């Protein structure tokens, strides 16, 4: 920004902090952490993108565009209480961390006021402009990492922007994409290169080392945006695409496993989200992949939801044959319910995973922790390895360590990243695991 724009922002923002220049997530994290240290209700986070602002800048030029950003920020500052933090992450992206104005209980009301105010015409050096904006709204929670709160606001903003902009979305009220466009777009998603894989690391507590990665399927559509797995996986089954996409997933994972042999002994876990994804055809495809892939079978694990364990005797026998060759089996979302205990006794899995995302949160019932603790004990009594997933805070980490969990996974360690980054990213995550999981001195 030029000096005139800086002066305008400082004088009109009414004391709001401003940041300029390239994207600096650490600035936002520090600002949100500082806000958390203050008394009062949780902060609201607004991620704002000025729609089609780049086109306007081509006409206005650099100097006028900078002054326009200053006017935008000044308008918004008038709607916020003193102490609001505002930071330009890019030419068209403004992030706000603020308390709610007095008498306004809902951050969505603030976002609506901002959108309405920014819809009024702007005048800069004889130019009159009409701008719309995409706004993502999140309410900060002190019991989740600051990075995640910020990411939730950005994800919400991107959902609006990818669908044409001029609207707002709430991180806590995600809307599923319309069913008809989703069903129409999914069959050709593979050919268009819209499906991809992400990896989320898992680390062993005993060795403070990364021991494996969970493979997650992602769909990025040019209009629908990032479609959540829970929204499109049922459509995969309904459209009969299980075999096709399952085979592609296996073909994509096997080269990763072979490449990772140079890094460390790592296990890659494939998620089977429903009974149809572990039907006999998929079991046969797994057997063929093991035969042709040239990989150590122990490096591949299949995780089934504990609530949808197959009961067909032939299918269980086929899984047993694969396991005799070394393929690992895990039960996901394990708890101390009778159904999960029955599945543990019937399949004798190599591992179970506990969903600890709500552990310690004020809005989570205290009995949930008791249930998870008992589930951990039940699995350990059978010699089964226990992984706690969804670990987001150090308090959660210490809790599951105290229960005797063997490994952890979650945002505290690392968020999912594109599978193609594995060779370049593994060392950094390994160092993070050493630092995070090292036993107390």
Instruction: Determine the Cα–Cα distance for residues 383 and 54; give it in Å rounded to an integer.
Output: 59
Model pTM?
A: 0.67
Residue 168 and residue 152 in contact, taking contact as beta carbons nearer than 8 Å = no
Tell me the longest C-alpha to C-alpha distance in the chain.
77
Task: Please write the tens of the pLDDT for every residue from 84-129.
Answer: 999 999 889 999 999 988 888 889 999 999 998 998 888 888 888 8
CA–CA distances in Å: residue 396 to residues 142, 327, 376: 13, 30, 14
**Residue 397 CB: number of other CB atoms within 10 A?**
22
Sign of dihedral through CA atoms 284, 285, 286, 290?
positive
Instruction: Determine the Cα–Cα distance for residues 44 and 108; give it in Å rounded to an integer.
Output: 9
Residue 378 and residue 341 in contact, taking contact as beta carbons nearer than 8 Å = yes
Residue 257 and residue 293 in contact, taking contact as beta carbons nearer than 8 Å = yes
Length of the chain: 441
Can you name the residues that pair with 128 across neighbouring β-strands?
Answer: 123
Q: What is the pLDDT at residue 21?
A: 35
- The pLDDT tens digits along the chain (441 residues) read 222 222 222 222 333 443 333 334 588 988 998 898 888 888 999 999 998 787 777 778 889 999 999 999 999 999 999 999 999 998 899 999 999 888 888 899 999 999 989 988 888 888 888 888 999 999 998 878 888 889 889 988 988 887 778 888 898 876 666 778 888 999 999 899 999 999 999 999 999 999 999 999 999 888 777 787 877 888 887 788 877 888 888 888 888 998 898 998 999 999 875 444 455 666 777 777 677 666 777 888 989 888 777 666 777 777 788 888 788 999 999 999 998 998 899 888 999 999 998 787 655 556 678 889 999 999 999 999 999 998 988 889 999 999 999 999 998 898 888 999 999 999 999 999 999 998 766
Q: What is the pLDDT at residue 273?
A: 59
Task: Please write the tens of the pLDDT for every residue from 186-196.
Answer: 999 989 999 99
Judging by beta carbons within 10 Å of its beta carbon (0-12, 13-18, 19+), is residue 77 exposed, middle or buried? buried
Instruction: Determine the Cα–Cα distance for residues 34 and 267; give it in Å rounded to an integer.
Output: 39
Token pair of 213 as six digits? 């990665």
3-state secondary structure of 327: coil
All domains of the chain, ordered by start, with CATH? 3-170 (3.30.70.270), 179-437 (3.20.20.450)
Token pair of 291 as six digits? 């035969």
């Amino acid at each position: 920004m030029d000096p005139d724009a800086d002066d305008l922002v400082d004088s009109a923002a009414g004391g709001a902090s401003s940041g300029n220049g390239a994207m600096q997530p650490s600035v936002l994290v520090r600002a949100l952490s500082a806000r958390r240290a203050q008394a009062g209700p949780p902060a609201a986070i607004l991620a704002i993108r000025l729609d089609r602002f780049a086109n306007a800048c081509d006409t206005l030029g650099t100097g006028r565009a900078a002054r326009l950003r200053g006017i935008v920020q000044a308008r918004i500052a008038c709607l916020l209480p003193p102490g609001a933090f505002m930071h330009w992450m890019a030419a068209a992206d403004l992030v706000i961390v603020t308390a709610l104005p007095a008498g306004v209980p809902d951050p969505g009301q603030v976002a609506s006021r901002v959108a309405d105010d920014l819809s009024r015409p702007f005048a800069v050096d004889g130019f009159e402009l009409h701008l719309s904006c995409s706004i993502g709204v999140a309410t900060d929670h002190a019991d989740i990492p600051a990075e995640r709160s910020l990411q939730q606001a950005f994800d919400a903003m991107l959902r609006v922007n990818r669908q044409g902009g001029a609207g707002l979305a709430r991180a806590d009220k995600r809307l599923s994409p319309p069913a008809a466009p989703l069903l129409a777009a999914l069959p050709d998603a593979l050919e268009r290169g819209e499906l991809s894989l992400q990896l989320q690391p898992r680390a062993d507590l005993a060795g403070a080392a990364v021991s494996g990665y969970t493979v997650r399927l992602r769909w990025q559509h040019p209009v629908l945006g990032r479609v959540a797995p829970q929204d499109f996986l049922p459509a995969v089954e309904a459209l009969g695409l299980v075999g096709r996409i399952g085979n592609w997933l296996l073909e994509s994972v096997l080269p990763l496993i072979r490449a990772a042999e140079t890094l460390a002994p790592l296990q890659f876990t494939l998620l089977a989200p429903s009974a149809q994804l572990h039907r006999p055809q998929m079991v046969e495809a797994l057997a063929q992949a093991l035969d042709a892939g040239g990989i150590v079978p122990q490096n591949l694990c299949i995780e089934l939801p504990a609530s949808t364990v197959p009961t067909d005797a032939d299918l269980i026998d086929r899984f047993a044959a694969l396991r005799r060759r070394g393929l690992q089996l895990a039960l996901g979302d394990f708890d101390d319910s009778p159904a999960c205990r029955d599945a543990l006794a019937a399949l004798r899995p190599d591992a179970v995973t506990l969903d600890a995302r709500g552990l310690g949160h004020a809005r989570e019932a205290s009995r949930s922790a008791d249930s998870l603790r008992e589930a951990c004990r039940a699995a350990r009594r059978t010699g089964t390895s226990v992984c706690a997933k969804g670990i987001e805070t150090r308090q959660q980490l210490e809790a599951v360590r105290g229960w005797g969990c063997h490994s952890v996974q979650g945002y505290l360690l690392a968020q999912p990243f594109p599978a193609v980054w594995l060779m370049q990213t593994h060392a950094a995550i390994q160092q993070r695991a050493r630092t995070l999981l090292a036993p107390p001195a």
